Each structure stands twice: as C-alpha cells, then as structure tokens.
Homo-oligomer: A and B are copies of this chain.
Amino acid sequence: MIPKQTVNMTDVARRSGVSIASVSRALRGEAGVSPVTRARILSAARDLSYVVSPEASRLSGGPTGRVGVIVPRVDAWFYSTVLAGVADEFDTVGMDLILCTLPDAAARHRFFEALPLRRKVDAVVVVSVPLSARERTRIDQLGVPTVFVGGHHPGPDRFWVGIDDELAARQAVGHLLRIGHRDVAMIQAADDTDIPWATDQARIRGFHRELHEAGHRDPTVVTVTWSVDGGSRGMEILLSRPRLPSAVFCHSDEIALGALRTLRRAGLAVPQSLSIIGVDDHPSAELTDLTTVSQPVREQGQIAARAVLGQLGSEATALSAVTTLPTRLVIRGSTSPPR
C-alpha cells in the first residue's frame, strides 16, 4: 500500500495562522474574510496543493462537487459527443462527472429503483432518455436540479436543450421536394421501449406534414429498428416493393448508412437510382457523401453543463429554461433531382 496524502484543512489553517473556519470560508470564496487573510490562506493552500475532502464537505452540508450524467449508452456517436461537451464544461470549473449508463431494461430498472446517485451529486443531466412518470418521480426524489438534453420537454421550470426535430425532418424532406422529387418514402425507426422517444415522433411528424403541405398524400413508410442494420433492412423492404420511390428520407444518418449499404450491395447507384437523405450529420455521413441535416451535438452538452452550473450558482449567467439549437441542411452527393 502506498501511503496516502493527508493534507487537510487543519494543515492549511496552521500554515496560514488562522482557524479552519476561516480557511473554509476563504476557499469557498465566501464573504467575511479580509483580503489579506484570504490571500494568505489561498497561497498556503496552493503551497500544500490542498484539495478539500469532498466527503467531509458534503457531510457538513456542502455540495458534493459532482454531477451525474445519465446516457442510454456511451458507445454511440450522439451520446459520446454530448458527453464530451458536458465533460469539457465541467472540467474547466473542476466539477466531477459521474457517468451513468442504462445499457438495457434491467439496468434501467435497477437504476431508477435503487437510485444509486442518491446523496452523491449536486445535479443531474439526463440525455435523451424518455422518462416514465415513475422514473421522473424517482429523479425528482434525488432532490437536486435536473437538466434535460433532447427528448421530451420536461415541462415548465425545467431546463431543456435540444433541436427542433420536426423542423429538421422538414428541412430534409423540403430539400427533396425542392429538387423535384414527388415520390418520397421514409424509413422510420422505432425503439422497442414502451415510452416513445419525442425525437422519433417529431421527425415522423415533420416528414408527413412537409409532404402534406406540398400536396403529397399517403407516402410509403417502412418501420425498422434504430440501427445501421435496421436501415439496411428498411431499404431491402423498399427494394422488394413493385415500385421504387425516387427519394428516401431516412429517420437518421445511421438508418441512411444502412440503406446505402443495401443499395451498394444491390448494385444500385446513388443518387442516380435513388436519392438518400438522413438527419444528424454523423461523422460517417461525410465519409459516405451523405446529404443530411446537421445538428450541433457537442454544443448541446456544453449548454446543458452551463445550465447545471447556473442553477448551482457556480455561474452567474441566467440561461433560459428552454434552448432550441438550429439545424442546417448539408447537401452532399447522395441527393440529386430525379431523372
């Protein structure tokens, strides 16, 4: 066993010739410490490279200095990028990030019932997960500020950041219509969970409304699971139909990538045989020359982190409760006018 460091507040107090009460106040930037004393204390703390014991601080009623971040999973582009944004912001203020993943239904159930974050964090960031009423109640029982990224709006007085998914879908479909497509199908993704994802519903709604307003009724829609393989199968289904649409709006870039794979294997050239468009601007979209609607992802994490810090008073900025970030059409080589 390597001996552990034992610099504590008493050491700093001794070195600066004051009581630990003053050290505590000075270190937390609290009022009521003379500038001279404060400077002396801060310098002593630096010399000893002192860090407060989060345990003791917390036990005495202080904050934990930790925020829990809940993501469905971390090994997926969207979530890991949001997480990077959150981590960045927390890093600059020295806030620790406790990562919670909900890989499957069992883990999810365990998480919300056991509430392992209890007494451990000052705030929580929930990324994308659509919460059941029960789960929302449980999160509330943590008794700390909560910020949501994407998914359902959590209601009044709650911080939310995300994009307008309906608009994103409309931007994609609008582009197809604008370049002349009249027969646009959609490969839509559905999650197998009971609680529908707001994002999914909004994108589907955007697709239908945009077409409807342009006078197109009853578009072809196939539903698959949200994954590259799902997109692949979606395109297989479309190819098995008697008539091919001239363009396909894919629920997401992952779906589109799967669709492209199927088309490549079937020997059908894109966009000559078929135009394909996705949503997200996944890194692979650029690599595969996929036209898409991009959303700022890392920034969603950063804004969520700032909202947390704002609510914890570590930052003075007053952020609005709801932040909707803009999406942008990115035209690449997978779309062209129908021939």
Chain A interface (Cβ < 8 Å from any Cβ of B): 1-5, 49, 51, 53-56, 58-59, 64, 66, 69, 73-77, 80-81, 83-84, 87-88, 91, 94, 96-99, 101, 103, 107, 114-116, 118-120, 140-141, 143-144, 228, 257, 260-261, 264, 283-284, 286-289, 298
B119 and A91 contacting across the interface, CB-CB below 8 Å: no
Please, how many angstroms separate the alpha-carbon atoms of A286 and B257 in the complex?
A: 11
Q: Tell me how far the C-beta of A146 lies from the nearest C-beta in chain B, rounded to whole angstroms.
A: 10
Residue ID in chain B nearest A75 by CB atoms: B84
Of B69, B75, B119, B288, the residue contacting A288 (CB under 8 A) is B288
B257 and A287 contacting across the interface, CB-CB below 8 Å: yes
Please, how many angstroms separate the alpha-carbon atoms of A125 and B177 in the complex?
A: 51
Q: Tell me how far the C-beta of A207 lies from the nearest C-beta in chain B, rounded to whole angstroms.
A: 24
Residues of B within 8 A of A283 (CB): 228, 284
Please, how many angstroms separate the alpha-carbon atoms of A54 and B96 in the complex?
A: 15
Q: Tell me how far the C-beta of A62 lies from the nearest C-beta in chain B, rounded to whole angstroms.
A: 10
Copies, count:
2
Residues of B within 8 A of A140 (CB): 2
Looking at chain A's contact residues, the main secondary structure is mixed
Residues of B within 8 A of A55 (CB): 54-56, 58-59, 64, 119
Of B49, B59, B107, B144, the residue contacting A53 (CB under 8 A) is B59
Please, how many angstroms separate the alpha-carbon atoms of A286 and B227 in the complex?
A: 13
Q: Tell me how far the C-beta of A246 lies from the nearest C-beta in chain B, rounded to whole angstroms.
A: 24
Residues of B within 8 A of A116 (CB): 51, 94, 96
Q: Tell me how far the C-beta of A162 lies from the nearest C-beta in chain B, rounded to whole angstroms.
A: 18
Most B CB contacts (10 A, CB to CB) among A88, A96, A115, A284 go to: A96
Residue ID in chain B nearest A51 by CB atoms: B118
Residues of B within 8 A of A87 (CB): 74, 99, 101, 103
A99 and B101 contacting across the interface, CB-CB below 8 Å: no
Residue ID in chain B nearest A66 by CB atoms: B98
B284 and A143 contacting across the interface, CB-CB below 8 Å: no
Chosen A-B contacts, 7 in total, with CB atoms closer than 8 Å, are: A1-B143, A3-B141, A5-B119, A51-B115, A51-B116, A83-B99, A288-B288
B59 and A56 contacting across the interface, CB-CB below 8 Å: yes
Residues of B within 8 A of A115 (CB): 49, 51
Please, how many angstroms separate the alpha-carbon atoms of A81 and B73 in the complex?
A: 10
Of B2, B64, B74, B96, the residue contacting A84 (CB under 8 A) is B74
Of B1, B74, B284, the residue contacting A74 (CB under 8 A) is B74
Please, how many angstroms separate the alpha-carbon atoms of A64 and B88 in the complex?
A: 24
Most B CB contacts (10 A, CB to CB) among A49, A80, A141 go to: A80
Given contacts A59-B55, A80-B75, A143-B5, contact A120 B101 (CB under 8 A): no
Residue ID in chain B nearest A84 by CB atoms: B75
